[in-house]
Chains A and B, each alone.
Chain A
Amino acid sequence: MSSSSVEEITDQSNDLFTQDGVLLKACSGRPVNELNSIGMLCIVQNSDGTKSIEWRPSDIITVCAVQEQDWALVNAIGRRQRTFSGNLTADYATARARIIRMPLNELKIFRVTNRNQQMSFSNKVGVWQSTFFFQHGNAEVFIAYLKSHVKTAKSSRDRNTYLVVEPTDETRALNRSFTELDIFQENTTDVVWNIVSNLKERPYETTMEAFSKLSSIGLDYNSGSQLLYYGNEASSKRDVSEEVADLLTKSMVAAEEAHSVTKSDEYEVISMKPTLPPRPSIPRSTPLSQEKWEGLQDTLGRVTEMDGVKQLIFRGGVAHSIRKQVWKYLLDYYPWHMTHAELKALQKKRTDEYYCMKLQWRSMTEGQESRFTEYRDRKSLVEKDVNRTDRTHPFFAGDNNPNLETLQDILMTYVMYNFDLGYVQGMSDILAPLLLLMGNEVDTFWCFVGFMERIASNFDMDQAGMKHQLLQLQQLVMFASPELAQHLALKDSGNMYFCFRWLLVWFKREFSLIDIMRLWEVLWTGLPCANFHLLICVAILEAEKEVLISGDYGFTEILKHVNELSMRIEVNKVLSSAEGIYHQIISAPHLTDQIRIILGLTPLGTSAPTEDDDAPEATGTNCKDNDAAANVSTSGTDMEEAVLEYDGIEISIVTQTVWALLA
């Protein structure tokens, strides 16, 4: 247990407020390639009681920061190296270095522009040190929290600019020292008055000039605000200094405004809220029938048109009568191009293999078991869960149900097949529908192996696979449903943790066994893009958006509501809207590389290079999906031709060959 690290981290700082989806637009002293990356803007309480504004890039929020704060890195068992996410520490260190921090007691001025969507901060005159763009709605809530931590005054001339007026101990001390230093001496007032009168005539030029003059006599904003207090103490100078402060503020704004135009050109920053194109309504098709399926096999039983079959399945699923057969292909137990004879041989081989592995644990004596804690622990975990998996379904109901024994045997054999992974809670949920359909123990086992291949990272020891998906989901929601993303962020739910169950067992707990079969077979096709299961999440959430937002649901209500959607979701409806959302996203003019990568599309390489970090990871997590996505993008021209017709009922993404076969 790394309890010390947990304590250490909690001691370090405490997030008082966090806002997801905040884009770094500008930051002095930062490499340009770090700009335009997305992150979280926080108000943080440091261990010494001081507070800071902190911006953390997104790629460390879920992988590291969330681990620290929400998921507290509890490194209980370190024996399974394979499932630990690669070079976490190296990435982490790099990412840590990208955190931007500004102590609140140094904050002197901040400003809100672009319909309250953009904020700039500064502790100095003349330079906005950092500028952030709030992708979710606007910065109002952030400002409200910020204002609860610092005393501010709105500039009388520019309602968008706030001066931090509360003199901190530090500035008080500075005041004194400046008074003692007596920097201003005789000509201070002259300089100031000159600035003031010139400002009225030529605000912009004068400001620039004034800044240089002021800095030439060592007057940074610290002394600028000091000037203000100095003035307060010496009432005779009060008017001067207040007016100066106002004017300075105003001209700073003017200067920055002029500046930001070029900035926007340079970085192509989204300046207005982008909207997705309207969602096409795409009807579901009928399931792949036995006739069609047989027609798609040649005389030797080879499935020649794999892509076409997958497309048909994606559109309508598989008729129940042939599921048992088709699933073996979808789950990579049967290779598509094998003949009946070859399959027969394969099946025999796999059967022998299975029983060989089964024997390995079946032949273990009590004595052996008593000296093999890890094995015993796994066995007991399996028993506990098998005993309570889908027991309300007739297939698994009743005492001494032999199907429970089969579940147990398959899971135990899987422990021998993949001892590193072993058994993790959730696997029995994955297995139960497979056994229900297949009936046969050996077939079920190999189909289970195929399914686990796709989702093994869900069961990572360090939860890296789940965190990665939750982050991707967050990014998709942000893109496809910014309003909802904003609400979730406001309610401390931006980490999407309430979708954990959906993702872990691929919605198994949300649908009836018959519906989950439909959903899974569609998802196994890997169409229309990688990570389509995340778009299923988006579709379900999008349908609940009104409830969540208008009900002002908070962290707990969101989780409760989402849990309670179980068995109330229509599978075909959700598949159809997820597909619609897919089309909305890929045809959005502002589609980012980040989203392209999640969906397995080739990045265009135009946006911020920070997203490259995601690329290898994404490939690692879901190779199969990406392969499928590669298929999609290679046949991209085909698809687009067909997709263009989606206004009509005859929408179809079936290849010409399949059409010919079906005709």
Chain B
Amino acid sequence: MATNRSGAAQRPNGAPQTKVCQFKLVLLGESAVGKSSLVLRFVKGQFHEYQESTIGAAFLTQTVCLDDITVKFEIWDTAGQERYHSLAPMYYRGAQAAIVVYDITNQDTFGRAKNWVKELQRQASPSIVIALAGNKSDLAAKRMVEFEEAQAYADENGLLFMETSAKTAMNVNDIFLAIANKLPKSESGGGGGGGGAGAGARRLNDGDAPRASSCCK
């Protein structure tokens, strides 16, 4: 019963040609930097100029194919405003990947992104793959955060980094693919941070500990 959620994706009954891996990914970042827009672009290929603010959280899934495996992202999109900060741990707990988003036209959002990275490094699963996305790259004319600055910060902290545009779709699929490539996909791949100490995402799954940290079947 503990694995019913992922069972279908992991075991396409019959002859499984490709391995299917499932990962929990969370989007974090200041309000209105484009978290929902990135997800919407990636999952539905849509863009709404006036995408409404996210209240609470949204959950979407998208599956991408790598060479020999299929990666299914379970994506948690969160509310960005500081007031709702206290809800965030509920979403990044147990996440194997995170995209921390900032708006290249707003320096404050970059500062906020750094705080999110710090918080993830401190409190999320130790093996979490973090990507930094400088969104709204279509508004380069209003740029306030230099590419090099962000790249240097990402390098220092071992983050994947890309400038993206949910509006033009630039680098949107790419950043998700880069994450998919970086995620461990071995049988015992430490997605969950070994021993389940950091990753308690699915409390119900913790009953069978060895499975909690593996992503592939």
Q: A residues within 8 Å of B by Cβ? A: 3, 6-7, 10, 14-18, 45, 67, 70-74, 76-77, 141, 144-145, 148, 381, 384-385, 387-392, 424-426, 428-429, 459, 461-463, 490-492, 497-498, 500-501, 504-505, 509, 552, 554-557, 559-560, 563
Contact = CB atoms under 8 A, between A and B. Distances in A.
Interface in B29-78: 31-32, 49-53, 55-60, 74
B50 A387 contact: yes
A388 B53 contact: yes
A370 to B, nearest CB: 14
Nearest to B90: A70
Interface string B1-30: 100110000000000000000000000000
Contacts of B89: 6, 70-72, 74
Interface of B: 1, 4-5, 31-32, 49-53, 55-60, 74, 79, 81-90, 93, 119, 122-123, 196-197, 200, 202-204, 206-208
Given A17-B204, A563-B59, A552 B86 contact: no
Given A17-B207, A388-B51, A497-B90, A10 B81 contact: no
A560 B4 CA distance: 17
A391 B50 contact: yes
A391 B51 CA distance: 9
Contacts of B49: 391
Given A384-B32, A563-B59, A3 B123 contact: yes
A573 B31 CA distance: 35
A459 B86 CA distance: 13
Contacts, number: 125
A501 B1 CA distance: 29
Nearest to A1: B119
A16 B59 contact: no
A145 B207 CA distance: 7
Contacts of A491: 204
25 contacts: A3-B119, A3-B122, A14-B206, A45-B206, A70-B93, A71-B87, A76-B85, A77-B82, A141-B1, A144-B1, A145-B207, A148-B208, A385-B31, A388-B51, A388-B53, A425-B83, A459-B83, A500-B87, A501-B55, A505-B55, A509-B52, A554-B204, A557-B5, A560-B59, A560-B60
Contacts of B74: 556
B31 A388 contact: no
Nearest to B83: A424
Contacts of B82: 76-77
B29 to A, nearest CB: 13
A6 B79 CA distance: 20
A390 B48 CA distance: 12
Nearest to B197: A14
Contacts of A501: 55-56
B86 A381 contact: no
Contact of A74 (B31, B52, B85): B85
Contacts of A563: 58-59
Contact of A389 (B52, B202, B203): B52
A552 B204 CA distance: 14
Contact of A497 (B32, B52, B56, B208): B56
A429 B55 CA distance: 10
A16 B53 contact: no
